[in-house]
Amino acid sequence: MSESAASRSQAARILSGLLLGLVLGLAAGAALPESAQPSLNWWIDQVIQPAGRIFLRIIFMVVIPLILSAIVIGTMEMGDVRTLGRVGWRALIATFALSAASVGIALGLVNLIEPGHSLSAESRQSLVQTYAGASQKSIERGSQSQSVATTLLNFIPENPLAEAVNAFNPENKGGGLLAVMVFSLFVGVALTIAPRERTATLRGFFEGMFEVSMVIIGFALRLAPFGVACLAFAVAARLGLDLFRTLGIYVGVVLLGLAIQQFVVYPIALRFFAARSPIRFLNDAKEAIITAFSTSSSNATLPVALRVAEKNLSIPPRIARFVLTVGASANQNGTALYEGVTVLFLAQVFGVDLTFTQQIVVALMCVMAGIGTAGVPGGSLPLVVGVLLSINVPPDAIAIILGIDRFLDMCRTALNVSGDLVIAAVVAKGAPDVGA
Ligand code: ASP
């Protein structure tokens, strides 16, 4: 079976797990008499939820090594900037500008529409109770704020190892996960500058660490259909139909954000920085966008994107190869936007009021997570889990989102690949002298 077909059937299994869990949970919540509620709660707390958490724990286990190695490798690939001079710099600036725009849209929409607040107070209460310890801590943490200067300074870790160890510790006053990301960024940049022959082992180490982490995530995902069924059961039994409305609004917000980036931000970039007609561009690029949509993988789309860039969009091959190859794993606007919406949505669901500074921290983490996300189906999942853990929102809730993730993955991957092509067009405009 091809990789993409395997991931499709995996997604179908997770979706079936979600549906089964939701239906049984709703039925149990609605059908059982009031007197049976305590014993249902006992089963949920002592058996069903712990069983459902197994696959999440396996993911948590590799979040730090995965983020560390993915960002080092992603930055190392981008670091070839030096050798490409102007092309590299334009690509780098465009990548950060478009990622920042997408995360900005995510932040704006979630604060405006507040999808997580559509849950009734009663449902939120029972959700917070379900995840009692963690959500209480996160609410407390949300109310403590540090000055912007201290927060920013903390992102440069004095002791990266301590930050890695305490990344998910609510008492940690340091930069946490973002500090680990910044450290990885430095290591990645330094690796491109240090002599290649002297750093081969270290590069190999990070590449190996990344591969091993991905294999372990693969193990976790095999258990995911079962885990998702258990966790969805627990939530549905306690929340009832309220949950569906909230989830529907969340999906709507993600899609609206992706549409704004695709149909407003990209056309502006194309018109003003690449001097191209956005409609014609979309038409010429559609083959790559459709492939991205159907495979949910930027990496799998790379060959098609390269052909489209060179043949249909007349982008010089040298630029297309550099921007698209690096972009497939290091520029993921759709993913950054999705991560921003998801994290803030879940924070709202759990009643965690993030301060402005904390929201900026989340935004920065999402921009970095966009660099660190592997261009494969569901590649962003471990990073979302990492960001949730680091702001102390119970990551179990991701189980429900995971069930509908495949569809959102298709949509965000289409945006990821469009973004790579837009950047290639912008870079090509600024470097007419760089030929094939
Ligand atoms: N599937 C996405 C990609 O390949 C990554 C993700 O957001 O999960 O671009």
Give the 3-state secondary structure of residue 344.
Answer: helix
Do you know the residue count of the chain?
436
Residues 6+ apart with CB under 8 A from 261: 98, 101, 102, 105, 333, 334, 337, 415, 419
Q: How far apart are CA 226 and CA 249, in angstroms?
A: 26
pLDDT band for position 312 (cuts 50, 70, 90): very high
Nearest to residue 84, comparing CAs of 422, 368, 316, 241?
A: 316
| Residues at CB less than 6 angstroms from ligand 1 | 296-298, 332, 335, 373, 375-380, 409, 412-413, 416
Which atom of ligand 1 sits closest to the CA of residue 374?
5
Q: Residue 78: its pLDDT value, please?
A: 66
pLDDT band for position 124 (cuts 50, 70, 90): confident
Cα 37 off chain centre by: 36
Q: What is the mean pLDDT of residues 14-26?
A: 87
Give the 3-state secondary structure of residue 431.
Answer: coil
- Higher-pLDDT residue of 123 and 58 is 58
Q: Residue 151: its pLDDT value, please?
A: 66
pLDDT band for position 139 (cuts 50, 70, 90): very low
Give the 3-state secondary structure of residue 275.
Answer: coil
Judge whether residue 1 has pLDDT over 70: no
Residues 6+ apart with CB under 8 A from 168: 60, 176, 177, 389, 390, 392
Judge whether residue 213 has pLDDT over 50: yes
Identity of the amino acid at 60: F
Neighbours of 393 (CB within 10 A): 29
Neighbours of 352 (CB within 10 A): 24
Identity of the amino acid at 123: S
Identity of the amino acid at 106: A
Judge whether residue 227 has pLDDT over 80: yes
Identity of the amino acid at 373: T
Phi, psi of 319, deg, nearest 5: -70, -45
pLDDT band for position 83 (cuts 50, 70, 90): low
Q: What is the mean pLDDT of residues 3-26?
A: 79
Torsion of CA 429, 432, 435, 436, to 10 degrees: 20
Q: How far apart are CA 23 and CA 19, in angstroms?
A: 6
Rounded to the nearest whole angstrom, what is the distance from the C-alpha of residue 335 to the centroid of ligand 1? 6
Q: What is the mean pLDDT of residues 411-432?
A: 89
Which of 103, 409, 415 best tests ligand 1's pocket when mutated (most atoms within 8 Å of CB)? 409
Torsion of CA 320, 324, 330, 336, to 10 degrees: 110
Which atom of ligand 1 sits closest to the CA of residue 338?
7
pLDDT band for position 391 (cuts 50, 70, 90): confident
Which of 3, 333, 376 best tests ligand 1's pocket when mutated (most atoms within 8 Å of CB)? 376
Nearest to residue 103, comparing CAs of 284, 424, 339, 422?
A: 339
pLDDT band for position 436 (cuts 50, 70, 90): very low
Phi, psi of 168, deg, nearest 5: -110, 15
272-276, 291-295, 315-319: which has the highest mean pLDDT?
Answer: 272-276
The answer to whether 423 and 95 are in contact (CB under 8 A) is yes
Q: What is the mean pLDDT of residues 382-411?
A: 80
Rounded to the nearest whole angstrom, what is the distance from the C-alpha of residue 382 to the centroid of ligand 1? 11
Q: What is the mean pLDDT of residues 411-434?
A: 86
190-204, 254-268, 285-299: which has the highest mean pLDDT?
Answer: 254-268
- Tell if the pTM clears 0.85, that is, is over it: no
Q: What is the mean pLDDT of residues 235-242?
A: 76
Place of tokens 């991560």: 339
Q: What is the mean pLDDT of residues 273-293?
A: 92
SS3 of 123-192: HHHHHHHHCHHHHHHHHHHHHCCCCHHHHHHHCCCCCHHHHHHCCCCCCCCCCHHHHHHHHHHHHHHHHH
The packing angle between helices 132-143 and 121-130, to 10°, is 110
For residue 34 the two structure tokens come to 């009031």
273-277, 373-377, 403-407: which has the highest mean pLDDT?
Answer: 273-277
Which atom of ligand 1 sits closest to the CA of residue 332?
9
Work out the end-to-end distance of the chain between its first and last CA atoms, rounded to an integer number of angstroms: 37
Which atom of ligand 1 sits closest to the CA of residue 335?
7
Rounded to the nearest whole angstrom, what is the distance from the C-alpha of residue 34 to the centroid of ligand 1? 44
The secondary element (H helix, E strand) that includes residue 94 is helix 86-113
The answer to whether 26 and 399 are in contact (CB under 8 A) is no
Judge whether residue 143 has pLDDT over 50: no
Nearest to residue 349, comparing CAs of 139, 63, 53?
A: 139
The answer to whether 331 and 95 are in contact (CB under 8 A) is yes
Fold of 3-430: Proton glutamate symport protein (1.10.3860)
